[in-house]
Chains A and B, each alone.
Chain A
């Protein structure tokens, strides 16, 4: 047989018995080495993030078109958002990215307490982000700015009736353009909603990871989950890095 084999001893189940004890316990059988396993897992996570890039891509495409078509409506809609809360959320999320990166470092350098605190910090910041978001969403509900049957264009046709519009010195929009603010808010809710959904999933995973970390996990070198979750978390941060200026900062200079 031309294909030589690596000298191994193989038992009835095809297990590589002689080398078994040299492999870490968490090495899966279809991998040759732990290095191969972790690189594979990392590659898999990056490919998943590519799907996320394309998933949000559709929303960004829609945004580009409608912002061009209905710019005054987008300006008026953007002025309804609180720069303070948006900036705060941006700070919170970037900080959570930093704490998550620190968490990965702690896992890599086997710092147990560091990892736990980093994950707790990330969790708190992540929940904080969602808390601020829900405050914002609630405000939109109160002001009838959620697209659908309850949507009202009062704030845009008559800016003086609306605190945010008045503060931004908005001029009244014609009824036609005022109605287009519903497109702006459709995109606002679709994009931030999708983003928030990804945050929620991330937080759920984070809780599971924290639970395991508290009980001593991730200190034996098997840290692929932490690293790959970090990639996911950073990606969610990147989406927000783009959402913030596109949604909150459309022309604050009028």
Chain B
């Protein structure tokens, strides 16, 4: 496709999203995994785990989100630039939440 031009473009980082087409089989497996994850989340909320409840819930949600990002959104098959972009967004989100919380943890944590 792109080979018909003499491509001097230094930007053609060989992304495979054009060439690597993710098929229904992969999507179906991920779909099933997401359903399992949802069931686990609901089930886990009925178990008494104290402070671990929210941790487990978020952890399962993170795994589900990762599956969506990697496979439904094709990041696994994308260029390093795309992976870096997603990472940058995640990092900044964590800075916002983490550093704001660090203020609250150090002065006003627990029931107000």
Contact = CB atoms under 8 A, between A and B. Distances in A.
Direct contact between the two chains A and B in their complex (CB within 8 A): yes
Please classify how large the interface on chain A is, using the bins under 10, 10 to 19, 20 to 34, 35 or more: 35 or more
9 contacts: A19-B5, A71-B111, A100-B72, A238-B64, A238-B69, A249-B41, A249-B57, A250-B45, A252-B45
A237 B101 contact: no
A36 B12 contact: yes
Interface residues of B, number: 64
A85 interface: no
B4 A105 contact: no
Q: Is the interface of B mostly helix, strand, loop or mixed?
A: helix
B89 A61 contact: no
A33 B45 contact: no
B109 to A, nearest CB: 6
A36 B9 contact: yes
A187 interface: no
Given A35-B18, A234-B73, A242-B65, A57 B60 contact: no
A108 B96 contact: no
Contact of A49 (B81, B89, B96): B89
Interface of B: 1-2, 4-9, 11-12, 15, 17-18, 21-24, 27-28, 30-31, 34-35, 38, 41-42, 45-49, 53-54, 57-58, 60-61, 64-65, 68-69, 71-73, 79, 81-82, 85-86, 88-90, 92-93, 96-97, 100-101, 104, 108-112
Interface of A: 6, 19, 22, 32-36, 38-39, 42-43, 46-47, 49-50, 53-54, 57-58, 60-61, 64-65, 67-72, 83, 87, 90-91, 94-95, 97-98, 100-102, 105, 108-109, 227, 230-231, 234-235, 237-238, 241-242, 244-246, 249-253
